[in-house]
Chain A
Amino acid sequence: MDEILQVKGITKRFDDIVVFENLNLTVKKGEVVVIVGPSGCGKSTFLRCLNALEDIQEGEITLDGESINRNKKDISRIREKIGMVFQSYDLFPHLTILQNITLAPVKVKKRPKAEAEKEALELLERVGLLSKKDNYPRQLSGGQKQRVAIVRALIMHPEILLFDEVTAALDPEMVKEVLDVVLSLAKEGRTMIIVTHEMQFARAAADRMIFIDGGRIVEEGKPKDFFENPKTERLQKFLQTFTYDDEK
């Protein structure tokens, strides 16, 4: 069984606003799924449902066969297996970079502090931020904070990583340093679901592309077909908004 995440017919409503309806998705171990779609189509909400930060009205989500439900008593134990990185980094401002990273492994996983610190330093080195270990978040640039947020998720050894527009809040010159890290994670066979507006990056990282619009999956496929031969008119239109034609 190498299907790790299963989303079966889920529906999400805020009061009477339907965000998506009867959505299905299966993610295999080691697969990198990239989701794109117009603003407000429910991409963030979808990721938030996957680790039960939002409840769902219908359907079921399972990780390793275990049902993910907001009201479950042991939901925090399932969340440990799901790493999530948000658009706004959300580092803990009162902790140093090193403490930000070791907090969850020590408090949640009860790992010895020295061991967690050792791994944290290795991961910081990998993203080029070892020298910042004793700084506070507000002393870092947005791109640096986002790389720390990625490390903070990685140290929990999650089975699946969710990235929600991790570069949307960054200045353009910092986008690449973050996407390089995400891309290297994608290439080492981690299971990931990435929401992004960076199409070149999407194409480089994805095993499978998904286009969501109007509350459902409109088109999905291998990156090459998806970008070069979009089948639906809606995807064609959507992709056009990312190309610049100097004839006009």
Chain B
Amino acid sequence: MDFAVIQEYMPLYIEAFILTVKIGWIGIALSLVIGVAAAFVMHFKVPVLSRIAKIYVELFRNTPLLVQLFFIYFALPKIGIQMSAETCGALGLGLLGGSYMAEGFRSGMEAIPASQSESALALGMVKRQMFTSVIFPEALSLSVPAIVANVIFLLKETSVFSAISLMDLMFTAKDLIGLYYNTTEALFMLVMFYIVMLLPVSLIGSYLEKKARLATFGE
């Protein structure tokens, strides 16, 4: 391995890393918002909306991100909806992630026994207080393992961004290999940068899971 090459490529990789992390986390933030909203309407069986949410979840969970990105990036402009590649990447990731997060939150909410809502009501809480102070935080603690797994999954999915010509890590590696044939160095750096991106998430995730377990029912 030639360290001079690594040094030379470094700035390009750092730039690609920042772009990947940025779009990745914007997408993840979006997926959390979509996931909570979809889980809420499905759990409380809000008319019409819960139907739409169900169709959305099935649609996005059962199609690959690559296909979704192609659709958003290449097909939507044909009907006049044009967005930058970055926006498309974040939106695609957010929609894919939202469908996974929705299922995670929903199973969290379903795992809460009815007696929890009842004791909240018995203390004089109104429905809104019951949801914000009891149901939502409990569902969140119960969904931590699912959320962590989804976040890691979504960060890995960023590797398909190159397909809509976003200059992410994958794109940079492929580009450099095509231009200079320093395959070993380029791939080594690709792996390293993905590890740098994911390892902290894994570690923080395990810590959060341990903390959240304390806050669940268990005996």
A and B bind: yes
List A residues at the B interface (Cβ < 8 Å): 51, 53, 76-77, 79-80, 82-84, 86, 88, 90, 92-95, 103-104, 107-109, 136, 138-139, 152-153, 156
Some 22 contacts from A to B, beta carbons below 8 A apart, are A53-B118, A53-B122, A76-B124, A79-B121, A79-B122, A83-B122, A84-B122, A86-B119, A88-B113, A90-B116, A92-B116, A93-B141, A93-B218, A94-B137, A95-B215, A103-B123, A104-B125, A138-B217, A138-B218, A139-B214, A152-B123, A153-B123
> How far, in Å, is B111 (CB) from chain A's closest CB?
11
CB distance from B154 to the nearest CB of A (A): 25
Known: A92-B134, A94-B138, A138-B217. 14 other contacts (CB 8 A): A53-B118, A76-B124, A77-B124, A82-B122, A88-B115, A90-B116, A93-B138, A93-B216, A93-B218, A95-B215, A104-B125, A107-B129, A136-B214, A138-B214
Using a CB–CB cutoff of 8 Å, the interface residues on chain B facing chain A are 113, 115-116, 118-126, 129, 133-134, 137-138, 140-141, 214-219
Task: Across the interface, name the chain B residue whose C-beta is closest to A74.
Answer: B126
Chain A residue numbers with a CB within 8 Å of B138 are 92-94
Is B124's CB under 8 angstroms from A108's CB? yes
5 smallest CB-CB distances across A and B, nearest first, come from A80-B124, A104-B123, A90-B119, A94-B215, A84-B122
CB of B216 within 8 A of CB of A76, answer no
- Residue from the set B113, B115, B124, B214 with the largest chain A CB neighbour count within 10 Å: B124
Measured CA separation A196–B125 after assembly (Å):
27
**In the docked arrangement, what's the CA distance between A80 and B122, Å?**
7
Q: How far is the CB of B175 from chain A (nearest CB, A)?
A: 47
- Among candidates B133, B215, B219, residue contacting A136 with C-beta atoms closer than 8 Å: B215
Complex Cα distance A88/B118, Å?
12
Q: A108 and B129: CB pair below 8 A?
A: yes
| In contact, A107 and B125 (Cβ under 8 angstroms) | yes
Shortest A181–chain B CB gap in Å is 18
CA–CA, A51 to B121, complex, Å? 9
